[in-house]
Amino acid sequence: MEDLSLAHGDGRYKLLLTHLSKIDLLVLDDWGLNPLTSEQRRDLLEIVDDRYQRHSTLVTSQLPIQHWHEFIGDPTLADAILDRLIHNAYKIELQGESLRKANTIPLLD
Question: How many Å apart are CA 99 and CA 6, to the nearest integer?
Answer: 35
What is the domain partition of the chain in residue ranges?
25-94
pLDDT(26) > 90: yes
pTM to 2 decimal places: 0.80
Q: Does CATH number 3.40.50.300 belong to domain 25-94?
A: yes
Residue type (1 letter), 48: V
DSSP letters spanning 90-106: ------SS-HHHHTPPP
The per-residue pLDDT for range 54-97, each reduced to its tens digit, is 999 999 998 888 899 999 998 999 999 999 998 888 888 888 77
The per-residue pLDDT for range 32-49, each reduced to its tens digit, is 888 899 999 999 999 999
